[in-house]
Each structure stands twice: as C-alpha cells, then as structure tokens.
Structure 1
Amino acid sequence: MKKQLIAASAISLATALAAPAMAQDATDTDREQEASEAEGQRGGGFDEIIVTGRAGTSELRKAEASYAVTTLSDEALRITNPASAAETFKLVPGFWVESSGGEGSNNVRARGIPTDGYSSVALQENGISVQYDGGLGYLNADQSFRFDETIARVEAVRGGPASIYAPNAPGGVVNFITRKGSDNPGGLVKYTWGDYGLNRVDAYYGTSLDDNWGVFVGGFYRESDGMRDMGFKAEKGGQIRGTIDYDDGRNSFALDVKHIEDKVPFYLPVPLTYDENGDIADVPGFDSRSDTLAGGDTTRIDILNVGQPYDFDLTEGSHTQLTQVTLTGALALSDVVRLESKTRYKNADMLRNAVFPTGNVTPIDDYLASLSGALAAFPGATGLQAQYVSDGEVLTSSTNGNGLVIGGNLLSVSVPIDEIIADNRLVAEVEAGGTHNLALGITYGSADYRFDRYMGTSLLDVQGNARLVDVVALDANGDVFGSVTDGGFLRYGSIYDNVSIGAENVAIYGGDEWQITPELRVDAAARWEKINIKGLVAQKSTVSLGDDSTLADDNVLTGNGVFTPVDRSFDDWGWTVGVNYQFSRYAGVFARYTDTFRLPSAGEYNGNPTRTDQRSVPIKMAELGVKYGSSVFNLFATAFYSKFEGVSFTNYRFNEETNQYDDPQVVIADTETFGVELEALVKPAEFFDFALQATWQDPQYKGFTYTDQAGNVVDYDGNQLIRVPKLALRAVPGINLFDGRLRAELEVEHYTKRYPDIANNQTLPSYTLLNINARGEVTNNIILGLNITNLTNELGLTEGNPRAGSFDAGDANAEYFLARPVFGRTVRASLSFMF
C-alpha cells in the first residue's frame, strides 16, 4: 500500500516511455532501469501495456505507441476522486470539458471538434462503446455510465487511430477498464460524505476461484441535495455490476452485467450581471455558484396538453434505468492467429426533466411594457400586472430584491432505447521483413429508440428556486379581466415531438503494425462504414384548448396523426498511417496522418425528418509527438492539426414573442485547428513532484459566410470556435510524506477566455480554479480521502445561453445575461476499508 500513494495524480500526466529491447551500454541500461522503477511506483511504469486505439496479438507498451495516449491508474483515480465521467476527461490534455451540467449530459471536445456532447469522442467500457453514437440527440453517452470504484484504470487516446478502431471517435477514445475477479482485487467498502448533503457508499469484492476463473461484484448507492440547491433530494440511486471471467493465458472470456437505477439533476445556465468595474457578478438575491432557478413552484406541475395534462416531475431529473450485458472473449486459433469478440446489449429508459431558462433576463416593468399588445385580447382591460401564482402577491421592481423575470422552459424528454453493438476481429502476428501485427474486423451496431418531447414555457422571477409568475389584465377598477398566462405558463405545448427511429451501422476495418527494426515501426489502418436510418416522425399542428380567459392555451403544438418517414443511408471510408521511432528506451518520436469522417447521426432527424443538409463530414488530422522519460523528468509533447470540412451548423433560437423556436438556419462551413498538447512530470525527490498538462490551440471557423434573416451578408471566417479556450492548463504540485503513506496535492486549473456564439460577440472570461486532493493510509486497511473543489469559490463560466442562438447570442452589452458557471466550493471526505 505504501507505494500506491506516492505521486498518485502524476500518473495522469506522466506518459510512460519504453521501447523494444535494443543494444545499449551499461550506463543507459542503469539509467532506464531507475526510470522504470520510479514510474512503477506511480502505477504507470515505462513498460505499461496499453489496449486502446489498436488491434494486434502482441503487447504494446505505452512508449511504443504512434499516437497520443494518457493512462490514469487506480491510484490516480482514487486521489482525484472524479465526480463524473466528464471530470475524468479533465485529467487528460487535449480535451475541453464542460462538467458543469452535473453527473450526466455534459460536453466534451478535443482538437478543434466543432460538436458538443460525446458525438465525436467515444466513451468506452472495457474496449467497447457505451453507446455506438455518443451524441444521439438528448442521449449523451455519459447518461449510460457512472464512475465508481469498480473502475480500475482509464486509457485515453486523442485523435490518431481512434476513428478507425472505434465508431464516432475522430476526437479520441476514453476507455474505462473495470476490475475483474481473476486479478484477485480483494474487497473494499468506502463511505463518502459531501457538504451538499452527499452520503454515498461504494463497495466491491473480487476473487480468483482458481488459476483461471474469477468473480467480481461491486457498485454504489448515493443520495444528495445536488451541487446546486434544488429544494429537494436531487441525486438518488446507484448501480451494481457483476462479472465472471476466465483467462488461461491463451484464451479468455468475461461476462459482465451492469444495472443503473439513478436520478441526477441537469443544471442549466443562470442569470448574471456586471459590477461597477465591468466584471461578471451575481444578480442581487441569486448566488450563481449554488442557486438554480429550478425547484419550488416547478417541482411538480401539470402542463396542459390535448387530452390528459402532462405530469412534469422535476424530481425525476435525468433518470437512467439501464441494464447492460457485455460478453467479451479471445480464442487462440493457432500460435499466431486469434479471434477477439466483444458484444454489448443495452436496454435503457432515459428521462430528462429540467427547467431551461430562455430569452432575456428583464426588469418586470420593461417586461410588462413589452406585452402591451396583449391588451387587445381583453377588450376593456387597461393595464397589466405581474403576480405570484402561489399567493397572488404583486411582483414589482422591489418585491424579490431585483425585480427581474425570465422565461423558463419546462422540458421533458423520454428516450427508451434498445441497442446491440458487436465487434469481431481476427488478429495475427506474421514475420515478413520484420514483424507484422495484422487485424481484420467487422463492427455492427443497431439501435432502436423513441424520442418523445413535450414542453411548456413559463414565466419565473429571478431567485434561488424561482417562483412562477402570472401576468393578468386589469380593468379600470383594478380587477382581473383576463390573464396572459395560466398558472405561470406563457404557452402550453411550445415543443412537441413523437419520433421512432432505428439506426443500423456496419463497419469493416483492417490494420497492420509493422515493426521494421527494433527502433522503427510503421502502422496503417483503414475503415469503411455505412449507416441506415429509418423511422417515423410525427407531423405537428397548432390547436387551441379553448380557454378564452387566457392566452397560454391558444397555440398548443401537438401531433396531427400523420407521420413522415425517414429513410436515409450514408457511407464513407477513412485511413490512418503512423510512424514511431525510438532513439533509446527512454526517448522517441512519432508522426501520424489521418483522413477520416463522421457519419450523420440519426438524432439529427428527430425534429426535422426532411432535412437535406446531412452528409458525411470529412476530417483530416495530423500530429507529431516527442516523448522522453527518466527517473527525474518525463515529457510527452504533441503538435496537432485538424480540419473538419462541410460541417452543418444549425442556429436554434428561442423566440420570446412566440414562445417557440424560430425555424432553424443552417450554414455549411469548415473548421481548422492548430495546437500543442503537453504532459510533463518533474520528480526531484521522493517527497515532492510537479506535474503539468497544457493544451494550446487556435480553433477557427473557415468559410463561415451566410445571409441572415434580415438579408445581410455575415462573415465569421477566422472566428474562434465556440466555448473552447485557446489555452487550458492544469498544474499539480504534490508532496509525499511518511514513507508514502500520505499524499497531498494542489490542482491549479486555468482556462483563457471563450465565446458562446460563433459571432464571438459575448465573452466568457478566463478563470482559474484551485482544488485540493489528499489521501492517507491510516493502517494497511484504512484510508482517508479529502477532495476540495473550487477552493476560492471562483466564478467561472463554461457555457452561455445556447437558446439565444449559437450564431449570434444577441446584445453583448446587455446588463443581464445567462451563462452556466462551474460549481462553487464543495468538500468531500471519504473513509475506505480494504480487505
């Protein structure tokens, strides 16, 4: 146990370097042996074997890879204690992660990827995707995944061959590898307390039954109030996993069954303003680090619909009910040929209920003035008044401390899905002018899902757990004559979707890793893939529910009984070639060029079954890497280039006057990015180390020119990609005391300014976060952990207001605006018992 705690977090930054055996003098050999032993203490030795981003029979050490790969060991994961899958991605350079949405439904981008969610970065579990299409419209892959103590380690590949060996992965693959019984992991019980009402228990037990067989079971259960105050128990649930595995050295087999029953909130942007110095500040009466507009009045409410009202239950949050069965195995067909097979079946029912703030944050007097035209609907009315739904109290400019109101979309999305993914490959090792590791495989993915969406648009005041507001029409005597709203709703049925779609993918791939000399290896691979998308999308019409006393039910979107069929097919092929050269055991270089693609997603047809802008997106990527390792200093630096050609950008903008989304405008443009990723570790003494990871990039739109709805020609060529910083930096000084029994580290995260819109009109300022991680061994069996995030309670913004329009967010100088901050300071403490 003592060695496990030494420089644990440095594993996430130190890329282990090794090379095939070659002639060396005694000095080099001794030096590299010291380096290997030092790295081994951190759990990620120079000879660490990697399994992600390649196919072949031979073992490949991390230093031999001709692509950028980062490994996160068990010890690194335990001390950083990520709260979500997205938080794990933050430990890898090259990824820009927005984890401010909570435990699910976050955004990940890498190397200039212009898409959100996990649409171009694959989230894998034991080498097979958690979801074939990680960006399947409101069904991000992390909704089907929970991070817990059953995860043993993580391997992350950026760019490179990821798009050849994994579906929908031009930006990379992050592979979460679970514990298994044949590794004889023993047992653990861990209790975690958090200062936001968190109580969580993780546990596992695994053991080998004999030399070849093992069993494992583990999972977690937790409850908490949530990272923001929702006014109720916002997180509730957990998961359980059971595994049986066999490995005799030639053949292997594993059956893994996982079940998730879990509710977590989805956090949205909040109102903000500026102080007298022009710096971003809280709106009076609203704490942007801990408050949310959701809760209270919007916790449980009926949204009127045609027929039965829709029961909107905010306590459901993002509710995942999932059963996943995974079968993997390898069969030695001969001494040089092996069959590898992985199959995953998933049955899931996903529900996401959330309050999406929309439109502008507006003083109540200005808002009422903007509705003056509504008086025409109530002949005899002379004025408008705002009042709370719950008690009728009049809302004025001083009632709630700020006198502000905001639109709130109460949105419910249900996505039941059945999915099967199968990957089968033949791998062989052949001697011919060197050693060839050959692979030929086929991947099949089939997903059938429904997409049911319903929404009502409400009016809220601005405070933590905002209250519903009615706008009523008054006569000359001050009596209520009618109502613009109804129970706080400006419009019932402001969104309606009823979709049933199936997506079927078939891919064929092959590759060759050719070790020409002990120092030089060349690898090449190619992939062809086809997707068929078939389904039915309900046509919509607008109806009135017939209540003449309010305007809220006059324009309710609903299905009209007619369905539009979707029947589209796309295919493309891509390839990659890389070269790796090892100068010595501890130093090498690699270069790679990749010409790949991203096929359209079935989710793009959820709201528009007749769209014609979808096509395969060509993607070109190049990278050049340098790697060096010793007992004192390790370095992995990668320069990269990426270009996405002919990407469809859609401008979704919610119209406050009609309380529905305008017809979306689509622009086809390119993106181009140059950048450098850096991982470094300095360990001058056993008691101190310093790790650094940094990504600098210049992500730009190219050829982004269009004519807006007013007839003006707009040119955004050269503008910075939205929400991606040019510089992201993570520095981690750490100390190791008491013979390695205690480790403490300070994480310093810094991100430069970003823009929430393609016009680059609104700025999301740079910010710096400080986090503290500590882990100490009390006895050989008892371990204490401490994680403090955002120590200084920094106000850092990760997202603007997407519903204001992604092309141009509007008035950049408005007094009030919407954005999604990082979470405020949180404290988590844990007690683990290992046996």
Structure 2
Amino acid sequence: MRQSRGLFFVMAMFMVAPALAAPPGNRSAPSSPRFDIPAQSLADALDQYARQAGVQILYPYALAAALRSKPLQGRMPSRRALDRLLRGSGLAVVRFGDGIVTLRAVPPPTPARPRRVASPPPQPISAEPTPVPAEIVVTGRALQTPVTATQFSYAMTRIDAETLARAGPLSTADLFKQIPGFWVESTGGEASNNIRSRGIPTDGYSSVALLEDGLPVQYDGGLGYLNTDQIFRSDTTIDHVEAVRGGPSAIFAGNAPGGSIDFLTRNPLQKPGVTLSATGGNFGYARVDGYAGMRLTPELGVLIGGFYRRDDGLRDPGYPADRGGQIRAGLQYDDGTTRLSFNVKHLDDRVILYLPVPLQMDSSGRISPIAGFDPLYDTLAGPDNAAITFKTPSGARDFDLSKGTRSRIDFYTLSGRRALGSSAALEVKARLRTGYTSRDGLFPIGRPQSGDSYISTVLPQLGEAFPTASGAQICYADTDATFLPDSNGNGLVVGANLLSIALPMREFMGDVRLTGQVNRWGQHDLALGLTYADNRLDYDRTMGTVLLDVRGQARRLDVVAVDADGRPVGSLTDNGFVRYGSLFDNVTLKTANLALYVADEWKLSDHWRIDLGGRWERTRIGGRMELSSAVDLGDPRTLADDNVLAGTGIYQPIDRGFSGFNMTAGINFNPDPGTGIFLRLTRISRLPSASEFYADPERTDEAVVPIVMAEAGLIVQRRTWNLSAVLFRTHFKRLPFTDYRFDPVKSIYVSQTSIADTTATGMEVSAHARLIGPLSIDIQATVQDSRYVDFRYSELSGGTVVIHDVTGNQLIRVPRIALRASPSADLLSGRLRIGADLTHYSARFADIANSQRLSPFSMINAQISAQIGDHATLTLNGTNLTNSLGLTEGNPRMGSFDAGGMTARYFLARPEFGRTVRVTFRLSY
C-alpha cells in the first residue's frame, strides 16, 4: 500500500506542474514575437525559442547540446529568429509550419579536390590546448547543462554505445573493469559479483550504486544474497554508461560513497533505428539482442528491445548454466517544454553462481590444479546435485541446483521534466519493482582432504553414536559403490553447503527535483530534491551440508559405520547429507528511506567553478524474524537428521532507525580550455543495511559509519592525447567487520564481530594517446595502499582467549597495483580495428590476518572488429588467451578474519575463467 501511495503522490505532483507553468489560453502568437534568449547551450536556447515563439521544436539533441548559441534579443518574425539562432551551427530547418519545427544536421560541404602535392614531413605532436567539446552529463549533476571534461570537480568515466557493443562483456561487473579505481571480481558469473572503489572495505554493491536512468536499480545494493547485479542485465536498449568515482555520488544516491554507475537508455526521438546482433561462443554460448526505436510523430517515439541468451557454462556443470533474458518497451514524449518517458522491463533469467574450486600448493608455494579437476573449466556443481530433497520437520523440500539464481522481476519506470519558465524545471522520476529472486547454490566449505583423513576426523563421533562400530567406509550415495583413492583421480573429498533462498521483493522509489539557474555573483545551477523509497523483502533460507568427491561435477558421498565384520551399523550421512537443516532463516523486512538533498554548481568565472552539495537521509527498518531450534527427525540409522534447524513459530520484532548527513565541496580551475585541476572533500554518513539484522534484530554493533574522502585531480585534453590523474584518500571510522565462518566439524556457522577503522591512499590514472599512424593506446592504472586501523579480534585457543592485532594489514582481496594497457590499430580507414587488453594485478590476501596470500597474475584479452558495408559489424572477442590461473578470492566460508594460512597442501579459491572465444554479428540501421 505504501508503494501505491508513493507512486500516486509523485505522479500527482508531476501532473500539477504543467498547470502551474502553462501558457495562458489558446491565443495565437503574434506574427513577430519578442525574443530574449541569452548565450547558452544551443539545446537550451532552442527550448527557450520554442516557448517564446509558441511552437514545438524537434532537433538532434546531442549535437545541439554540444554547441554554444549566441544571444538573441528583439522583436522579429519567428523564422528569421530561428535562422539567426542556427547560423553556423550545422543545423538546418526541415519543417516550419503548423506550430511544429523540425531540424536536422547538415553535412559539411564537400571540398574541391585538391591538386596532388608532395606530402609534408610529419609534424611533432602539439602540446597546445585545443577546444574541448561540451557534452551533457547527467550523473552526479545538479542540472543537465553542457560541461567539458576539464570542468568536472570529480572523476567520471563515460562508456559510449560503440564501446559497449564492441566489448560485449560477459557480465555487468566485467564492464566495470574499464573504470579506473574499481577493483572488480567478475568470477561469480553473470551475477553476484563484487566491486570495490578506492579502498572501500565492503563487498557486493553496498558502497557503489547501480543506477538506470538516474534511479537506483535497487535502493540498497548491499542486501544479503541480493546484490544489485543479480537483477540487472545490460543490452542494446542501453545508450551509454556514466560512472562517477567518489565525488558527489553520495549526494544524489543512497549507499554510494564509492561511486555511482548510471546506465542511460536509448531515446527513440534522438536515436531512432534498428539494431540486431547474434553472438556465439566456445562454451555453448548463444545470445540474440535487438532494439527498435521510431518516431510516431515529431514529439512521440516508441522503443522495444531486449535479449535472450543460453550457455553451457564458463565452467561446465553438466546442464545449461545460464538461460533466459529480458524485454523492454517504452514511450518517449518531448515537445520542447514537457518531456515524459515511460518504460516497462521484464527480466526472466537463470544464471549459475560460480564458487571456489579445489586447488593445491606445492612446497615452493606454486599453485597448481589437483589431478582430476581443471580449475579453469571445472566446477563442483553438477547433475548429481541438480535435484535433491531436503528433509525438514514440515516435510520434504525440493532443492534444484540447475535453477541457480532465478530472477523474475518487473520494472515500471516513469520520468518527466516540465520547464517552469526559461530557467527552472521540475523533474520527476519513479520506479516500481515487483517480483522475486530465488537462489539455489553449492558453496564449498573447509578444505579438500583424503578420504582416510576425513574418516579419522568423524570416527569418534560415529563410535559414540554407534557403540558396535569399529571403523567406517565411504561410498557413493547413488550407487553404494565404494569410494577408492582412484575413484576420482585424486582420492579427495570436500564438504559443501546446498543453500536454498527465496527472496520475493516489492520496492517503490521516487525522486522529485526542482532545478534552476540563478545569475548572481556568477552562474548557479541549482537543484533541490527529495527521494523516497520503501520496500518489503521476505527472506526464506534453508541449507543442508553434504560430502562430495573432488571432481568436475562432483558426486555425493555417504559415510557408513561398520562393525568388526564389515557390516553397516549406522551412518554419519543420509543420501550424502552430513546434516539436514544446518541453517534456517525466515525473516520479513520492511524498509523506508527518506532523503533531502541540495546541490549548487557555481560558475564563478570562465576559469573557476565550485560544486557544493548536501544530503540528509533517514532509514527506518522494521519487520520480524522467526526464532529457530534444533529438531531430531527420529531416524536412528543416521546422524544427519539429529539436529535439524527449523522455525519455532515464535517471532522477534525488528524495529530500528538511523539518520545521517552527507556533504561535499569541490573546486575546479581551468587555466586553459584543455586543462582542469580540481580538489574535493566529502563527508559521508553510511547508514546500516536492513540485511544486517537478518539474524540478530537486537545487535548493538551496527551504527552510522562516518566516512571522509578527499581527492585531487588533473584532467588534460589535447589534440592527440588526454590524461586524467586523481589522488585520493579514504577513511572509514567505526566500521563493523563480521567473521562469518562455517565449522565443517559441527556443520554450523560461527561468527564474531570487531569494530575498526580503515584508510586508503592511492592514485588513479587514465590516459589515451594516438601513436604513429593507425596505432593508439589506452592505459589505466590504480595504485593504492589500503590498510586496517585499530583492528583487534579474539580467538579461543586451547581454552585460552588469544587477542590478535591486525592493525596495518592490507585490506582483503584488493591489489595494491592494478594495470591495464589496451593498444589498438585502426586499419582500412577505420573499418578494421584490432585491439588487446593486457592486465596485471599485484598480490592480494584472502583474509584480514593476511595469512592466505593470493599470488599476482596477468591476463591477455584480444579483440578484432570489422565493419562490413554500411550497416554490419563482425566482432571477435577472446578472453584469458593464455589460460592464466589468477585467483580473485579465497573461500569466505573459511573465515574472513583468518583463513588458516597456506600451510595445508589443499585449499579452495575462486580463479578467473579459462579461455573464451565469442563472435558477434551486428546489424544497425
């Protein structure tokens, strides 16, 4: 009900706005109206012209937004005024009459064919500043006015439509590897990946907001088991991406201290056309994308697009790993005064979650595969675990690993803008999201060990339960065949949790923003906004722990106790389950967020700009959690059902509230049009996430976390090269860290929490240069020193409490050095492009104690793109061509505080994927 009221409120405000600003009556405009249009972007000038002339005007927005108009004043015929406004702009009138004006771009005249003369000697690269074109950037901005790259007081990366189409990333996270300062772990597959920015010590999308058309895809991107990228897919309906690193992102979006990444959809009025593409890959990958946009009238356009994809898996589980897609349909209206957009998107997709795999380390510290298991192409997930029944006190519950992460989500998005006079506007955005996500996954635990070693650890437990037992043996759960050292090529076994989660969610978000320009002591672009979001999330989680053999597509194992004559007397397991119901959660969460924000982009002069912003936000978290207790299901032949966690029917309420204030100030200096220098200081209050109260509604360690971020940047744009370099420092205070570790002996999760600070100091560099002839190179580098401050935790060892001090240790999983060099060659007048990505990451650590070191690694990717005719493109993408075994994370279920070091021969970690090759054929009209 709250979502419905919120949607009605926002829509009502937008409907009232036109009445407040509508021109009086239907009187005919005078034949020679009076014009008063100041110098500004040509797009804004044309909008003012339309209002003052009393006409509707349609024009190439992106082109006009990048141009500057001259002032126009005086009384004159409308056509003469328009011709004066367009003089030298490259735009021409196609239609003028009936109250509608249509403009188009005019190609430059073809120059006369010059006489053939000797080529002049090559000139040295000029270091003189050149004019930098202005463009419209909407993310992290108060107002959509044109700015140049050198006028920003924060770091921003733009990924255009051509780059999106050419890169063809395998996941949303894969795309973010093009953004400096971001450490991206895309080894989870198409969804459930991790992203970090500037040494921020939280995972998932808890500190980086993923937006679509300016609104969060999910308001809280850090919900447990519901990362934002699980419900978002990029396709050909996306026009471009704008990524803000740090800066003002925490002013315009919640949960965004590290940055915000905005996916902007295509506008059928500005970019009509048809795009079709088909992709095939060496891992059974097949994908079809499509987009169609058209103008029904000069003011009204429609679009439809989406994708469908299936594949056998980057690591083969023995069943289709990913299958599904999404479709979007939308309407766009723009008469020069009022802009309205409405679209509906439906996602129905299943994707596999790739988790750590078994590996071994030799005496020299070299990591290598285990016999019988290829870490680049194998996964423990397989058909043997695709359809299993859990035993619970209320009956059987089905588990289907082949479903993976299943999302069926509908998004309804409405946005609009109404001009209020010549210098103000009301902007409204609203989104309703309904549907559910379910997750069935196989999560490895502990370490691989030999079958004999495993038996020795459980034999005392079996002897206590079955007094006549004198030994034990391992056999396969489906055939009862004895498990032998050569059964799987290595004789190893490993534990795993089969986790099943249902996450139905309904969420409403609305943002109302009043913008305007004030010319006093310079020019102020102002924004005053209000954001409201509320959601209801149900969290139903159950889990069973099983024993597997170590192989690709692992099989379940049973451990049977035998007497002196070898006869079975009982069993540790049942159908491979060591414990049914090793985890249980039944939680309902209701969250309401309210935020007020204000921003001012203050242009003091042609050389100086100041950006100011503030945001106050309040979150209210309510709901209830069902208490659980252990139940014995009563089968005397096995221990697997003796301690099944189940709900008691008694609920504990959840009722928490937090509020905080964010503020930022930045200054930019342009010594010349091609150079920008900026400084920025930001203070953020990070509010706790609702999912932090899943298991303990009364926890007291959760509080508002103060964050201070400082950055200084240099942006240089030249004719043949450009450079962006940003120094940053980040300080988190009083941040709770939880060690959530699974005990494979007792088959339970144990946890402890410690509160500490973190600091990060570093530099991001992004550069592009045109080299000799057709050669170019792009370089990205991030160097950072991220450490824990005042971090101590305790451990019980031999009955004694031991305090460990890890102050000064490196933040987990974040490399100190990340390098990416992308050389390319444009041949045949730009119709053939050959490029490569060379990446290198320095060593990282899988735990806070820095005991488990993840070795440095490098990778090589390559790409060839050929233009065929005027409308077709053929692209070949290859990733990890050398099959580099690069580890991105260890196994979090071993513990994030101390994963036990690297003393054991066998361990679990998650590596990059093996070599892939994909071919895409694309048609655009």
Decide: shared fold, TM above 0.5: yes
- AA aligned to 2:332 is D
The answer for the alignment partner of 2:896 in structure 1 is 806
* Aligned-pair CA distance for 1:632: 1.4
Q: Alpha-carbon deviations, 1:747-792, whole Å to 9, x = none?
A: 0111101001000001011110100112111111221011100000
The answer for the alignment partner of 1:144 in structure 2 is 231
1:678 to 1:20, Cα distance in 2 relative to 1, 3 A: farther
The answer for the alignment partner of 1:432 in structure 2 is 520
* Aligned-pair CA distance for 1:93: 0.3
* Aligned-pair CA distance for 1:296: 2.2
The answer for the alignment partner of 2:845 in structure 1 is 755
Task: Tell me, yes or no, if the aligned pair for 2:150 and 2:717 is still in contact at 8 Å.
Answer: no
Match of 2:719 among 620, 625, 631: 631
Q: Which is greater in Rg?
A: 2
Distance 1:677 1:281 in 2: 33
The answer for the alignment partner of 2:177 in structure 1 is 90
* Aligned-pair CA distance for 1:49: 2.0
1:489 to 1:216, Cα distance in 2 relative to 1, 3 A: same
Task: Tell me, yes or no, if the aligned pair for 1:50 and 1:61 is still in contact at 8 Å.
Answer: no
The answer for the alignment partner of 1:14 in structure 2 is none
Q: Secondary structure of the residue that 2:641 maps to in structure 1?
A: coil
Match of 2:793 among 706, 709, 721: 706
Task: Tell me, yes or no, if the aligned pair for 1:20 and 1:518 is still in contact at 8 Å.
Answer: no
The answer for the alignment partner of 1:56 in structure 2 is 143
The answer for the alignment partner of 1:556 in structure 2 is 644
Is 2:718 aligned against 1:718? no
Q: Secondary structure of the residue that 1:572 maps to in structure 2?
A: strand
Count of aligned pairs between the two proteins: 802
The answer for the alignment partner of 2:635 in structure 1 is 547
Q: State the percentage of identical aligned residues.
A: 47
State how 1:377-396 maps to structure 2 within 5 Å. Answer: 377-396=465-484
Distance 1:578 1:397 in 2: 65
The answer for the alignment partner of 1:13 in structure 2 is none
The answer for the alignment partner of 2:689 in structure 1 is 601
State how 1:159-558 maps to structure 2 within 5 Å. Answer: 159-275=246-362, 277-373=364-460, 374-558=462-646
- AA aligned to 2:136 is I
* Aligned-pair CA distance for 1:497: 0.4
- AA aligned to 2:684 is T
Distance 1:31 1:215 in 2: 46
Task: Tell me, yes or no, if the aligned pair for 2:711 and 2:729 is still in contact at 8 Å.
Answer: yes
Distance 2:128 2:923 in 1: 34
Distance 1:724 1:19 in 2: 42
The answer for the alignment partner of 1:736 in structure 2 is 826
Higher RCO, Cα 8 Å, sep 6+: 1
The answer for the alignment partner of 2:100 in structure 1 is none
Task: Tell me, yes or no, if the aligned pair for 1:82 and 1:147 is still in contact at 8 Å.
Answer: no
The answer for the alignment partner of 1:127 in structure 2 is 214
Runs of 4+ residues deviating >3 angstroms: 18-22, 30-36
Task: Tell me, yes or no, if the aligned pair for 2:572 and 2:640 is still in contact at 8 Å.
Answer: yes
Q: Secondary structure of the residue that 2:263 maps to in structure 1?
A: strand
* Aligned-pair CA distance for 1:348: 2.1
Q: Secondary structure of the residue that 1:211 maps to in structure 2?
A: coil
Which piece of structure 1 moves more, 204-213 or 297-306?
Answer: 204-213
* Aligned-pair CA distance for 1:260: 0.3
Distance 2:795 2:134 in 1: 56
* Aligned-pair CA distance for 1:477: 1.4
The answer for the alignment partner of 1:6 in structure 2 is none
1:35 to 1:273, Cα distance in 2 relative to 1, 3 A: farther
Task: Tell me, yes or no, if the aligned pair for 1:411 and 1:453 is still in contact at 8 Å.
Answer: yes
Distance 1:326 1:117 in 2: 24
Unmatched segments (≥5 aa) in structure 1: 1-17, 23-29, 37-44
Distance 2:720 2:147 in 1: 24
Task: Tell me, yes or no, if the aligned pair for 1:194 and 1:827 is still in contact at 8 Å.
Answer: yes
Task: Tell me, yes or no, if the aligned pair for 1:71 and 1:155 is still in contact at 8 Å.
Answer: yes
Task: Tell me, yes or no, if the aligned pair for 1:791 and 1:825 is still in contact at 8 Å.
Answer: yes
Task: Tell me, yes or no, if the aligned pair for 2:129 and 2:717 is still in contact at 8 Å.
Answer: no
* Aligned-pair CA distance for 1:624: 0.3
Match of 1:671 among 758, 781, 784: 758
Q: Secondary structure of the residue that 2:845 maps to in structure 1?
A: coil
1:401 to 1:414, Cα distance in 2 relative to 1, 3 A: same
* Aligned-pair CA distance for 1:567: 0.2
Q: Alpha-carbon deviations, 1:682-733, whole Å to 9, x = none?
A: 1024511011001000000001023323411211111000000001111000
Distance 2:130 2:445 in 1: 55
Q: Secondary structure of the residue that 2:395 maps to in structure 1?
A: coil
1:786 to 1:827, Cα distance in 2 relative to 1, 3 A: same
* Aligned-pair CA distance for 1:594: 0.2
* Aligned-pair CA distance for 1:530: 0.4
Q: Secondary structure of the residue that 2:508 maps to in structure 1?
A: strand
Distance 1:173 1:290 in 2: 33
Task: Tell me, yes or no, if the aligned pair for 1:158 and 1:173 is still in contact at 8 Å.
Answer: yes
Distance 1:756 1:581 in 2: 41
Distance 1:517 1:628 in 2: 19
Task: Tell me, yes or no, if the aligned pair for 1:96 and 1:724 is still in contact at 8 Å.
Answer: yes
Distance 1:540 1:680 in 2: 55
The answer for the alignment partner of 1:78 in structure 2 is 165
- AA aligned to 1:366 is S
Task: Tell me, yes or no, if the aligned pair for 2:135 and 2:146 is still in contact at 8 Å.
Answer: no
Q: Alpha-carbon deviations, 1:800-822, whole Å to 9, x = none?
A: 01001100001421100000011
Task: Tell me, yes or no, if the aligned pair for 1:270 and 1:288 is still in contact at 8 Å.
Answer: yes
Task: Tell me, yes or no, if the aligned pair for 1:155 and 1:174 is still in contact at 8 Å.
Answer: yes
Q: Alpha-carbon deviations, 1:87-141, whole Å to 9, x = none?
A: 1111100100000001111100001111100000000011110000001111100
Task: Tell me, yes or no, if the aligned pair for 1:538 and 1:561 is still in contact at 8 Å.
Answer: yes
Q: Secondary structure of the residue that 1:182 maps to in structure 2?
A: coil
Q: Alpha-carbon deviations, 1:178-228, whole Å to 9, x = none?
A: 112112331011110011111111111001222222111000011111111
Q: Alpha-carbon deviations, 1:244-268, whole Å to 9, x = none?
A: 1112333211001100000000010
State how 1:2-21 maps to structure 2 within 5 Å. Answer: none
Q: Secondary structure of the residue that 1:181 maps to in structure 2?
A: coil
Which piece of structure 1 moves more, 84-93 or 54-63?
Answer: 54-63
Q: Secondary structure of the residue that 1:375 maps to in structure 2?
A: helix
Q: Secondary structure of the residue that 1:327 maps to in structure 2?
A: strand
Unmatched segments (≥5 aa) in structure 2: 1-65, 71-124
* Aligned-pair CA distance for 1:58: 2.8
The answer for the alignment partner of 1:821 in structure 2 is 911
Task: Tell me, yes or no, if the aligned pair for 2:196 and 2:203 is still in contact at 8 Å.
Answer: yes
The answer for the alignment partner of 1:695 in structure 2 is 782
Q: Alpha-carbon deviations, 1:35-89, whole Å to 9, x = none?
A: 56xxxxxxxx742321111112533333311100010111111111111110111
Task: Tell me, yes or no, if the aligned pair for 1:50 and 1:62 is still in contact at 8 Å.
Answer: no
Q: CA RMSD in A?
A: 1.6
Return the TM-score normalized by structure 2: 0.85
Task: Tell me, yes or no, if the aligned pair for 2:174 and 2:186 is still in contact at 8 Å.
Answer: yes
The answer for the alignment partner of 2:874 in structure 1 is 784
Distance 1:73 1:709 in 2: 54
Task: Tell me, yes or no, if the aligned pair for 2:727 and 2:763 is still in contact at 8 Å.
Answer: yes
The answer for the alignment partner of 1:793 in structure 2 is 883
The answer for the alignment partner of 2:80 in structure 1 is none
1:434 to 1:800, Cα distance in 2 relative to 1, 3 A: same
Match of 1:567 among 655, 658, 676: 655
Distance 2:811 2:68 in 1: 41
Distance 1:35 1:194 in 2: 43
